[in-house]
Amino acid sequence: MILAFSLAAAVLFGSGAFLLLKRDLIRMVAGIMLISQSAVVTIIASSLSRGQAAIAVAPGDTVSDPLPQALALTALVIGLATVALLLALVHRAIVVFRTAEQDELAATEAEHEAALERARQADREEVETSPDDERQADSERAR
């Protein structure tokens, strides 16, 4: 039984790592989901012992450990919150940049940075011209 859980965790983690290395943001989120689920399967596999529930146990009886179950539940909740946040961020990136491909996002960001740098340079040039220079230019135009 433990071999089946180990194999399932390995397949989930391997598939998640494969998807995480893709260039599409949605597939990256799916990879993170699979890796999170492999952690849950690993936690559950670590507690595969037969026993009764930890409520009203007779002395000498084997008891199942409730801690791995609580950890698995916590891991599920944290994984769900992480995926929700990532999906919101990916949705916003797709709405703003109209693409989910990482390469296209990088190209769009480079174009945006270049435009910002041109605007900064124009602002610097405007600040460098002093008000005295502008008055002299106005007086020369008036003549």
Q: In this structure, what is the dihedral angle of CA atoms 8, 9, 14, 16, given to the nearest 10 degrees?
A: 110
pLDDT tops 80 at residue 139: no
Poorest-confidence range of 14-18, 45-49, 80-84?
45-49
- Classify residue 24 by its DSSP letter: B
- The answer to whether 82 and 40 are in contact (CB under 8 A) is no
| Per-residue model confidence (pLDDT) at position 62 | 81
| Per-residue model confidence (pLDDT) at position 118 | 95
Q: What is the pTM of this model?
A: 0.73
> Of the candidates 38, 36, 43, which has an alpha carbon nearest to the alpha carbon of residue 80?
36
| Per-residue model confidence (pLDDT) at position 14 | 98
The mean pLDDT value of the chain amounts to: 88
Which pair of tokens denotes residue 117? Answer: 């740098």
Alpha-carbon distance 88 to 96, whole Å? 12
34-81: pLDDT as tens digits: 999 999 999 999 888 777 777 777 888 888 788 888 999 999 999 999
